[in-house]
Structure 1
Amino acid sequence: MAFHPIAADDDDCAVGVARPYAWIVFALTFGLLISDYMSRQVLNAVFPMLKGEWALSDGQLGLLSGIVALMVGLLTIPLSLLADRFGRVKSLALMALLWSLATLGCALAQDYQQMFIARFMVGVGEAAYGSVGIAVVISVFPKHMRATLTSAFMAGGMFGSVLGMALGGAIAAKLGWRWSFAGMALFGLLLAVLYPIIVKEARIAPQRAAQAANKAANAVKRPLRTLFSSRSVIAAYIGSGLQLFVGGTVIVWMPSYLNRYYDMATDKAGGVAAIIVLCSGAGMILCGMLSDRLCRHSPERKVALAIAYCLGSCLLLSAAFALPAGPVQLVLICLGMLIAAGTTGPCGAMVANLTHYSVHGTAFATLTLANNMLGLAPGPFITGRVSDLIGLQAAFQLVPLVSIAAAAVFFYAKCHYHKDIARLKGERINDPVGESVVEVKL
């Protein structure tokens, strides 16, 4: 049977993980991420129904979406620290249970205030899942697969968004919007029960589990410093968040855009929007694979690729929203979204390689914090408020310009990248249990 070494920072600490089991861990963790985003994005498919039934403004609708991302941003670091300390597997299962029950609460909401509270709790449940989940995934695969794994795993968010909007729209058209939320909740509850039964902490990190009882209270202080160990990592956080302002906003508002400017019914708008989001998910994977292939012997290309993805998506989406509604516009939107989230893989690989294994959950939580506080939380809300003033079409024409700011941040990273490599390549960090040292590499 083939084995993967665990992708810890120190090869001497690596533990053999059976390849079939590693892919089972990936599949189940990926499945829960899909459930996460199905519960989050099903709301977008029923925006028109909620707007009509409760007489809501675009700003109120944007807040229902943005509150989830806001809570993810605020809570991801503290909850990820708890997961790193007390066990990632059981933490993931508890998160899934909470967001699924909260999604069920959305189905039972009787007014805007109740829906807001339920969405608030969805955000609490989902707060640390992405960061802790990817930490679990990269721990059972080789280090050289990190960009591919990060982009493929995070693409689960796109696929979950696709299913959430497409299935949510179809269910809402036939059974009503409440059943859309209920269906997503039941799927999440099923996976939440299965996950801890199949995925065991002792199997994915046996040495870490055995050493946990011996760690001192200050054991993670030095590894925590690696979260902000270089200007390149800080720029990766910021640039990734700014770029997701664009992709996240288009995902949230696309069903409403199609409903208003293409006169599509809820189910059809959800289906077409799902295709656009699918393009983004596929592009995320392809861009991550391209990053691993091109950057194995030239790591600075990661930053150059991130800049190219930002500027390319800005050009394509700006051209798309300058055109009238029609097939050409939809094609350009699909092409723009294909590369809009392409920075996910390079940024994830950089964060993983420049932080200590023991705090990878917290490292990805920091990346998630930036993604949500700079992109996913303010994007839908700001766009909704702008839409109330000048219309959704005009608001969409402004959104792609944020990618220019993201490209500028990545250019700053590129200016300092070689210097950071020279400094970090030889830097050595004591292992938290004092048994080994590790070399930080890009």
Structure 2
Amino acid sequence: MSIDATAADQQQPEQPLGWAWYGLAVVVLASVIGSLIGKGLISLVAESMKQSLKLTDGELGIITGLALTFVVAIASYPIGWLADRVDRRWLLAGCVMIWSAATVGFGLSDTFTGLVFFAMGIAFGEAVLGPVTNSMIPDLFPKDRWVTANLIFVSATLLGTYLGMALGGTLFGVAAANAQSLPVWLAGLEPWRITLILAALTGPILAMLILLMRLKRITPPSKAGEAVEGVVDYFRTNARTTAGIFFGFGLSYAAMGAQGQWNAVILQRVFGQTPMQIGQTLGVAGGVAALAGVGMAWIVVKLLRPRYGDNTPMRVAVAALTASLIVSLPIPLVVTAEQFYATILAKICFTFMANSLAPTVLQLMAPAHLRGRVVAVGGMVTIIFASFMPWVVGLLSDQFFPGHRGILLAVAIIVIPGLLGGILFLAWGLKGLPQTIMRANGGQQA
């Protein structure tokens, strides 16, 4: 372990725990609002946006995939570099204002080019969430509370994102029903535009809450160029494990995201659901399914850990993804909204069961002094996959399956092989995982 890391472990935050919990609540709120706008609301209004601006499914895929996701991969490292060197409250607040302004611009855009430009602005602002929030929590709490704080953060963000989707659907319904009685500056706008603009108004309030945080940097920043050779040696020595796990989780997460970006479109186009119905149903039921998956992961890992040790999270993830693949097979055959909802919810449960274990696997396989960089590279692989899959679904729908139910076939053709590929890569990487974990622990079995 490096000298800096040892020093960081010995220090404790000086601020009262009340301010620490306030900071955690604000960080959760920022993650929830960022996810709601970037993935929730835009996918929810995608079909209305398509009809309004005469977009193709391929163009929708570029907006919801490449523009919203790939930019995060590009911007994450520069923002992470800044997060180690400047006041993270100002960095987070500034990025919140960027994504809020970009959301307003997105809601007012009348061209595909404008939508892509402002979607990239939203993504750039949201790229701050990973590097900043993950580095803030250790500086908010004493070390003996890190696990509790992280579990609360994950659960609250997960629940808040789905509840936010339910509120987003309700907001769309209210905007549609009361378009004529809204303020003059919103009058005459379509409901999908009003929904995005109203959601963006949370930005300035959130930025003020962030700046009120009390935060002192406990973990010293890494020095420029520190341990570069160590990173290269690590990936060379553990090539099979890292490739298998990065590509496995990357493909499985992207397969889930590819369907997630198109679920609202399918429910509107194929089954006649309204954005309000979709947001409320997926928001509540999806949140329950996701939390159930995380809870199942915790229980199963706890039961099997005495037998499989540190390999347990990976084994459980592979089994959960296999279950997710099985419940995804009927996607092109569903004929009612209820059947499609059942497929979605089962898949959400098992996919979250698997992907919620990814951070634990990455933490176990990386030495402490390289952990941040290893996790960052794994995240970038996942984001790159997640950027392209929704776009490919749109292209398939436009070029090969233009009929009423064609989007179901396009989703199935991408999602099912994606899950299968993820399972095979994880199983391949699992064979080298015990040795990688042993090396990460200095040659000792954990």
Q: Does residue 198 of structure 2 align to residue 183 of structure 1?
A: yes
Aligned to 1:240: 249
**Deviation at 1:172?**
4.5
Aligned to 1:61: 60
3-state SS of 1:341 partner: helix
Contact 2:169 2:275 in 1 (8 A): no
Q: Cα gap change, 1:328/1:96 in structure 2, threshold over 3 Å: closer, same or farther? A: same
CA distance in 2, matches of 1:359, 1:199: 28
3-state SS of 1:299 partner: helix
Q: Cα gap change, 1:424/1:357 in structure 2, threshold over 3 Å: closer, same or farther? A: closer
Aligned to 2:78: 78
Aligned to 1:405: 421
CA distance in 1, matches of 2:350, 2:289: 7
CA distance in 2, matches of 1:164, 1:378: 28
3-state SS of 1:300 partner: helix
3-state SS of 2:84 partner: helix
Q: Does residue 218 of structure 2 align to residue 218 of structure 1?
A: no
Q: Cα gap change, 1:385/1:111 in structure 2, threshold over 3 Å: closer, same or farther? A: same
Q: Cα gap change, 1:31/1:294 in structure 2, threshold over 3 Å: closer, same or farther? A: farther
| 5+ residue gaps, structure 1 | 1-7, 428-439
Contact 2:244 2:429 in 1 (8 A): yes
CA distance in 2, matches of 1:400, 1:147: 31
Aligned to 1:29: 27
3-state SS of 2:357 partner: helix
TM-score, normalisation: structure 2? 0.81
Residues 326-384 of structure 1 deviation map (CA, whole Å, 9 limit, x = unaligned): 43442232112112132333211233345566776655433331221012x11211111
Residues 250-278 of structure 1 deviation map (CA, whole Å, 9 limit, x = unaligned): 22111111112211223223333334542
CA distance in 2, matches of 1:217, 1:269: 48
CA distance in 2, matches of 1:86, 1:55: 43
Residues 189-241 of structure 1 deviation map (CA, whole Å, 9 limit, x = unaligned): 311221132141x1xx43x3xx55xx754345467559847343443322221
**Deviation at 1:246?**
2.0
Residues 115-169 of structure 1 deviation map (CA, whole Å, 9 limit, x = unaligned): 2211111111112412431332355354656984674366268437625752453
Aligned to 1:432: none
CA distance in 1, matches of 2:37, 2:73: 17
How big is the alpha-carbon RMSD for the aligned residues of Structure 1 and Structure 2? 3.2
Aligned to 2:41: 42
**Deviation at 1:36?**
0.6
3-state SS of 2:272 partner: coil
**Deviation at 1:19?**
4.8
Aligned to 2:388: 378
CA distance in 1, matches of 2:200, 2:213: 21
CA distance in 2, matches of 1:292, 1:26: 26
3-state SS of 2:336 partner: coil
Contact 1:173 1:267 in 2 (8 A): no
TM-score, normalisation: structure 1? 0.82
Contact 1:33 1:156 in 2 (8 A): no
Contact 2:71 2:120 in 1 (8 A): yes
3-state SS of 2:310 partner: coil
CA distance in 1, matches of 2:243, 2:348: 25
Q: Cα gap change, 1:113/1:86 in structure 2, threshold over 3 Å: closer, same or farther? A: same
Aligned to 1:281: 290
| Number of equivalences | 414
Give the aligned residue type for 1:184.
A
**Deviation at 1:55?**
0.9
CA distance in 2, matches of 1:227, 1:154: 32
Q: Cα gap change, 1:85/1:12 in structure 2, threshold over 3 Å: closer, same or farther? A: closer
CA distance in 2, matches of 1:60, 1:342: 32
Aligned to 2:186: none
CA distance in 1, matches of 2:170, 2:130: 22
Among candidates 296, 313, 320, match of residue 302 of structure 1 = 313
Q: Cα gap change, 1:415/1:94 in structure 2, threshold over 3 Å: closer, same or farther? A: same
Residues 409-438 of structure 1 deviation map (CA, whole Å, 9 limit, x = unaligned): 1112211111112222116xxxxxxxxxxx
